[in-house]
């Protein structure tokens, strides 16, 4: 009983702290979700290496922001997300290069996903291109047979793998999911 008595205060403190932490995290996450619901575009950068301490996170945040032209950078576990709330031209290559050039320790960029609102249209040469909503910015896109392609010009939200960033040529998109916005 004495042992239990000695443990009572720490256990109460532990319980209270667990509850507060859970509540605070849940509240913030809920707020974040509602405030940032469906941004115009997101760039997800999957990274490997040191990205966890305050100094690495500050460095990564500032490196991305320096090239994101107004995009909001958020850092998760082994990933960086750059959000654009409203339609605008996305500096995709610059954002990618901010981390791909390995300016921090052993940090390396391994994959890039891009999601945005827009429409797919067939270009004059017959190849499909993804046009970002309201901006006129376009990227070549390849669409696997497993992914249903809507009719040209249909408003949609595209999630695509970004390819070509390791080289100096054009960036291209490979569609992963296409959600109709009608």
Partner 1 sequence: MPRFRVWVVLFIAALLGAPLTGMAEESTDTPLHFHGYGDIHYNNPQLSTMNQAAISEADAHRFALGLSYELTPEMRIDAEIDFEHAAEEIELEYAHLDYDLAPTLTLRAGSVLLPIGPLNEFHEPTLYRSVERPYVETTVMPTTWQEIGVGLVGRTGNGAFAYRGYLVTGLDAVQLSAIKGLEDSQSHGSEAAAEDLAGVARVEYAAASGLSFGASGYYGGADQGNPALHDVFIGIANADARYRKHDWDLRGVFYRVFVDGAESVSAFTGETIGKAMMGWYAEAAYDLLRRDATGGRRSLFAFGRYEAFDTNLEVPEGFEAEEGAGRSVITGGISYLPIEKVAFKADFEHWKDDTDAELNRFNLGVAFQF
- Which of residues 52 and 127 has its CB atom nearest to partner 1 in the complex? 52
Contact flag: residue 3 with partner 1 (CB under 8 A): no
Which of 40, 41, 43, 68 touches partner 1 (CB under 8 A)? 68
Piece of 96-104, 136-144, 153-161, 174-182 that binds partner 1 (CB under 8 A): 96-104
**Residues whose CB falls within 8 Å of the CB of residue 57, separated by 6 or more in sequence, listed in order:** 51, 75
Give the burial string for 83-106 (b: 16+ CB within 10 Å, else e): bbeebbebbbbebbebbbeeebee
The residues in 8-67 that bind partner 1, with binding defined as CB under 8 A, are: 10, 13-14, 16-22, 24-26, 28-29, 32-33, 36, 48-50, 52-59, 62-67
| Short-list 175, 122, 134, 180, CA closest to 156 | 180
| Least spacing, CB of residue 173 vs partner 1, in Å | 20
Nearer to partner 1, 80 or 141 (CB): 80
Q: What is the 3-state secondary structure of 103-119?
A: CCCCCEEEEEEEEEEEE
Burial of residue 71 (number of CB atoms within 10 Å: 0-12, 13-18, 19+): buried
Binding site for partner 1 (CB under 8 A): 10, 13-14, 16-22, 24-26, 28-29, 32-33, 36, 48-50, 52-59, 62-68, 70, 72, 74-77, 79-81, 94, 98, 101-106, 108
């Amino acid at each position: 009983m004495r042992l239990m008595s000695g443990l009572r205060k720490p256990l109460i403190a532990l319980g209270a702290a667990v509850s507060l932490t859970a509540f605070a995290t849940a509240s913030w996450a809920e707020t974040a979700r509602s405030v940032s619901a469906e941004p115009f575009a997101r760039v997800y950068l999957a990274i490997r290496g040191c990205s966890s301490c305050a100094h690495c996170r500050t460095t990564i945040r500032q490196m991305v922001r320096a090239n994101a032209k107004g995009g909001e950078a958020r850092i998760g576990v082994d990933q960086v997300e750059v959000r654009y709330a409203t339609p605008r031209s996305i500096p995709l290559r610059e954002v990618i290069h901010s981390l791909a050039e390995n300016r921090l320790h052993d940090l390396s960029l391994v994959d890039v996903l891009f999601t945005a609102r827009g429409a797919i249209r067939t270009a004059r040469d017959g190849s499909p291109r993804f046009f970002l909503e309201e901006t006129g910015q376009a990227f070549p896109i390849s669409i696997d047979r497993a992914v249903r392609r809507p009719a040209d010009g249909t408003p949609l939200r595209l999630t695509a793998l970004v390819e070509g960033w390791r080289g100096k040529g054009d960036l291209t998109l490979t569609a992963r999911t296409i959600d109709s916005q009608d």
